[in-house]
Structure 1
């Protein structure tokens, strides 16, 4: 029996398995407006992500753009990532007619907007060629229909997704090979490098077969002079000798189907994936139907509801889909070391994901989540460090702290055990906390390593804060504090009291950046840079310079980072002047006109300081709980969710960041918000009644009475597991460890439904 069905389904869960939830998934949600979502064909955590690559002279992060010319269809992509494109390799391009020179620009505009649904993708080029795609875990089908019976297909090993931002992050092609066999199939290998994580050379193998015997098969090799510029240099001299093969088919051929397998190990293994996953006996329609079934059973049926509102259903199931495209499960496909442990790649990035995505992964995908934790620890065993980001089997880049520490701590305190070796896991965390990684020489931040670990650790250990010697000093200080708190929690659980006290004390170091003498908008007290002699450096809390790699604050203003120490909020409330002043200051984050929008791009958000497009603000809307005002957490978080999210092509407020945006929205729908590295969940209110499948026959039933998602959403009464609940928070054990129920009565006005203690602040000791 498969791992996904290793328990007897309850009647409700059994019924859920028979519903086609893929009908609600809008695969183009978030593909525009900077969301960068991948809309092609893929299975949950699948290695193959097959889709079109577009060229407009601007970055196509996931391959897709709504306009531009199609340069081909490739087997590997990321989803929802920023920085610079990655992959766009293992290529085919259909051509109408004969190809006299495969080295020239063969790209084509599209005749109409692409169409697709879960497991299905369709494109029509202006020359009339129609393309349909389908995929398994390690292989894909490209079906071509040629309008005039003159068919050619070009396989170009040199194809990659380029970058045009001028940051030195464009991918490179370093060489390749191609073999064509008498039966018409081909085998290739290509070596590539760079991209957002600045990876050194990596190799991918491919195998392709056609269902129609080719008339000719011509291998080509050469350096072109008229190629579209691949990258930032606009120099053909930087392009290594290109190789590939041109297939032409007998005149009158109107349909050709190609099946391609990929492998990090060998071309023979790539060929084996075609045989095992996409044999010729399995039709394109069968593969598409099979993919839909996988998504229904493994992902979409995890949350079910009886509501019928179509836009809400589309938003719910599109978000569940979007959060599960990456990381990629490459177990059995690790070319770097032999191990019996699972292996996952394409983590982009834990700086984004640790805040609420990994917590939801544990709820909805507990088996895959445990595998991912084991994979992170195994990467430390063999590569020396856990990643903050990883792609093409290479760690990089670390934007702030060593946030795998937070992921491991969150899993540990919520009881993830199974086959996880927590002795090794804690050792990996200690290395992050105690050993400075060698500088990888990133030109955007040359002061220290941003490949892995904590590059600014020398200052952290010497001063208890981070000086401007290091870029992103305040960002790192906030995140190193949370990282150290993470170590304290695992140390305590393992019975290491000395380490518990040590790292808990270090988790208070953010306080060394707090200056009570800094004022903004009538409020005092903010996190600011600090020099080696102990003096604070003047900083306008509404300015962060460029908010990028070389600045003291990364992707957020000083205002935003001054609410970022989620483990020590009670101290922050005290520093701010008490609960009332804390609430007032938080509300200022959401008032239109308070942000000059000089560098954060917040103008599209009515000039609020709060920026829904960046992860440092993910928890901010819920911190009103610590001032005794959960009604305001509900008010502002619901406003953000209903204003900046929808299931359309521009339905995300910014970069998805590998599904991070979707998981924030899903928690808002559920009515809870996780405080990562702790067992605490803040209660606000669900959008609708739902059942959450927790695995192993356990469920969380959430019901609402008297509610409306846009007006009557304030909690009037709450029962947890049938008993009156008077706290504005609960823990993992209350409803997730063994399942449970939450029954909400909702109304139009805030109420004093709670009178229990405020949420815990475990770092405030």
Structure 2
């Protein structure tokens, strides 16, 4: 008998790497606005299979909620997002009894039994006592249903029209625009659905699916709305759902489903190659664990045995490596030999810490990701700032893909990357305003929020951004950073005139600096302005939304944003002592009269996450350790409410991971700020046999006490700078050794970190 090639391929994918997955708490950060996805997925996998809970009035951004009814179990989700829900399709839902109207938005109460989950495995019990267990490969999912004993009308509803709804009232709800469903002669089904909108306001996209059951149903029917049809159930109406109902006498049913962005035939290939008929449920679960262990968790190892810290480490690694989605070979937009990654949510969050960490622990994947990002520009005209369902959108502030490309360039990502094309894409962002969308964004109708720099006309004309453009002060800070990124790549490519131009433009944030604006005894802030005057604000409370001058950050926090020009910022804030006092005020309870029980530092959003580390620029890195460690240890846990804000595709978690490592990446530069590691030993595998080993002595092994640096050795050599560069420990690997203690000594006696624009 000839061997089953698909089965052999599947079994060979199972490795024997040490199991670190048991440290992961998949429900961490799912609630309290964290919006983590707790279902099953492979690293960067296209399938993210999990439960969809419906609670009218509450958005379930990643499908999961603490309460509500099950509306389905679907194969596609985002991870940790805000904005509005995305995907939630295609879906299955088990039902018991006679179903008279199967496509009438049926929901099922959840059981009193809590859902269970671990890496590669999810289990839920419905209010009808049906046990649903889930497993997944990269492009296919497996459902294991166990119906109540004695039940004979055991149904599985396949609903093509199912999506995650939104109740925000901002026009961001997803739509269903029609679909097809057909039961084939051998009993498997093939389907397609057309969907639109969501957080990135994308036009129609199509998902194809192909499903098999391990046993023959007693009845199987295709439906258009409430009507049973023979052959293909088809609708092009957003108000008429299509799907199928399968009824079984058996109490245990397995379902295998593949998805594709290309065709039903490819969806069938995906499921039959990745989860063949011979695969068991346990096989699929184990293969997913092995993928996470070999591809992700084994890249960061420690000798620590502290359970809570190990859970934080590996749970954070898990949630930051669910996105972006590797859709190579599944791009319906264009044909290309380049890799293709989608679900970029979003560069305005991830450029600060996530992409720098991906480059270190996933160098092969990261080169592919950079190539894919440039290829999006080749075919869609602009680099993405956020992207899902093959559509650029939205852009919150600047064109922050520029920062990601610059960071990769200065840290020597080369391989097959075409950097002339990469630079041309960045120049497009910097010089060509994107056309506005039709219809325009109702929350910011004055310019495109799809891609590029919508406020570029003002930036080019004045060197600042007037309030005729929304988010003008936030955009100014980010546009300056973006232009610095162009300077870095232009300099490296020997484009001397361009480098000089963009370095000058990178200082234009200073044109928003009002030295007369005051708050709690400090003078000088980045503020909104018109053509001739600065506008008055309350820097402590003026954090706004999409149509305001600052977004997700107050003028107090926004004024610290342009880290490439830190020496000038310290000068404008009044010099070293005043800068120190302003940083301290940021973390002092009661400093903000409007919030006497809190602090000015905002841990819920990424724009301020550099602030705890800015003490390093005035030679006080242990003050950065003090502030950042307090944030990490008090606001991050592995409980369901254990994130201070949206995960934002793992951006929150990557901030924590850098804190654990003991470094802070300065995006767009080769600089890493030194603070202090948590563990006595931590090893980062860098690829090609290279590694960075971080060790410490004198601490308590948990990162809770004796956290302050007394001395540092880099590659065995005594080190007195509070920073290092890529070539020191990452290019070829290296060692960092810390002596830690209770006293906040001033160990850093060397020069402060560079401020290239100053």
TM range (shorter): over 0.9
Residues of 2 paired with 1:654 and 1:207: CA distance? 37
Residues of 2 paired with 1:734 and 1:17: CA distance? 33
Residues of 2 paired with 1:640 and 1:53: CA distance? 32
Asked if 1:265 is matched to 2:262, the reply is yes
CA drift of 1:61 comes to 0.2
* Partner of residue 190 from structure 2, selected from 187, 190, 197: 187
CA drift of 1:103 comes to 2.7
> Where in structure 2 are the equivalents of 1:590-669 lying within 5 Å?
590-595=587-592, 606-669=597-660
Asked if 1:536 is matched to 2:495, the reply is no
Matched-pair contact (CA < 8 Å) for 1:77–1:87: yes
Asked if 1:103 is matched to 2:108, the reply is no
Matched-pair contact (CA < 8 Å) for 2:619–2:749: no
Matched-pair contact (CA < 8 Å) for 1:206–1:267: yes
SS in 2 for 1:54: strand
Matched-pair contact (CA < 8 Å) for 2:177–2:237: no
Residues of 2 paired with 1:105 and 1:389: CA distance? 31
Matched-pair contact (CA < 8 Å) for 2:517–2:523: yes
Cross-structure match for 1:122: 123
CA drift of 1:17 comes to 6.8
Residues of 1 paired with 2:362 and 2:319: CA distance? 14
Asked if 1:295 is matched to 2:289, the reply is no
Residue segments in structure 2 that go unaligned for 5+ positions in a row: 1-14, 228-235
Residues of 2 paired with 1:31 and 1:296: CA distance? 22
CA drift of 1:19 comes to 2.0
* Partner of residue 663 from structure 2, selected from 668, 672, 697: 672
State the Cα deviation string for residues 310-337 of structure 1 (Å, max 9, x = none): 1111010000101000100000000010
SS in 2 for 1:567: helix
> Where in structure 2 are the equivalents of 1:240-279 lying within 5 Å?
240-249=239-248, 251=249, 253-279=250-276
Asked if 1:305 is matched to 2:302, the reply is yes
Matched-pair contact (CA < 8 Å) for 2:31–2:641: yes
Cross-structure match for 1:707: 699
Cross-structure match for 1:162: 165
Matched-pair contact (CA < 8 Å) for 1:150–1:254: no
Count residues with an aligned counterpart: 727
Cross-structure match for 1:5: none
CA drift of 1:106 comes to 2.6
Matched-pair contact (CA < 8 Å) for 1:579–1:628: no
CA drift of 1:222 comes to 2.2
Matched-pair contact (CA < 8 Å) for 2:619–2:748: no
Cross-structure match for 1:71: 71
Cross-structure match for 1:230: none
Residues of 2 paired with 1:439 and 1:591: CA distance? 43
CA drift of 1:593 comes to 2.0
Residues of 1 paired with 2:525 and 2:671: CA distance? 26
> Where in structure 2 are the equivalents of 1:457-496 lying within 5 Å?
457-496=456-495
Residue segments in structure 1 that go unaligned for 5+ positions in a row: 1-15, 225-236
- CA gap of 1:87–1:582, structure 2 versus 1, over 3 A, is same
Cross-structure match for 1:447: 446
Matched-pair contact (CA < 8 Å) for 1:46–1:329: yes
State the Cα deviation string for residues 711-732 of structure 1 (Å, max 9, x = none): 2011111111000001000000
* Partner of residue 580 from structure 1, selected from 553, 566, 577: 577
Residues of 1 paired with 2:168 and 2:457: CA distance? 32
SS in 2 for 1:568: helix
Which moved further from structure 2: 40-49 or 576-585? 576-585
Residues of 2 paired with 1:346 and 1:300: CA distance? 22
Residues of 2 paired with 1:756 and 1:628: CA distance? 8
Matched-pair contact (CA < 8 Å) for 1:50–1:140: yes
Residues of 2 paired with 1:560 and 1:278: CA distance? 49
Residues of 2 paired with 1:596 and 1:301: CA distance? 47
SS in 2 for 1:259: strand
SS in 2 for 1:256: strand
Which moved further from structure 2: 255-264 or 589-598? 589-598
* Partner of residue 431 from structure 1, selected from 424, 428, 433: 428
Compute the TM-score of the two structures, normalised by the length of structure 1.
0.94
Residues of 1 paired with 2:468 and 2:639: CA distance? 44
Query: What RMSD, in angstroms, separates the aligned Cα atoms of the two structures?
Result: 1.4
Compute the TM-score of the two structures, normalised by the length of structure 2.
0.95
SS in 2 for 1:175: strand
Cross-structure match for 2:42: 43
CA drift of 1:183 comes to 1.4
SS in 2 for 1:623: helix
CA drift of 1:239 comes to 4.5
CA drift of 1:754 comes to 1.9
Matched-pair contact (CA < 8 Å) for 1:95–1:106: no
Cross-structure match for 1:61: 61
State the Cα deviation string for residues 255-310 of structure 1 (Å, max 9, x = none): 11100000000001100112111011110001100110000000011111111111
Cross-structure match for 2:406: 409
Residues of 2 paired with 1:437 and 1:258: CA distance? 45
Residues of 2 paired with 1:46 and 1:690: CA distance? 27
Cross-structure match for 1:421: 418
Residues of 1 paired with 2:466 and 2:135: CA distance? 52
> Where in structure 2 are the equivalents of 1:685-724 lying within 5 Å?
685-688=676-679, 689-708=681-700, 709-724=703-718
* Partner of residue 726 from structure 1, selected from 708, 711, 720: 720
- CA gap of 1:178–1:460, structure 2 versus 1, over 3 A, is same
Residues of 2 paired with 1:283 and 1:453: CA distance? 47
> Where in structure 2 are the equivalents of 1:193-342 lying within 5 Å?
193-222=196-225, 239-249=238-248, 251=249, 253-342=250-339
Matched-pair contact (CA < 8 Å) for 1:60–1:161: yes
Residues of 1 paired with 2:511 and 2:237: CA distance? 48
Asked if 1:25 is matched to 2:24, the reply is yes
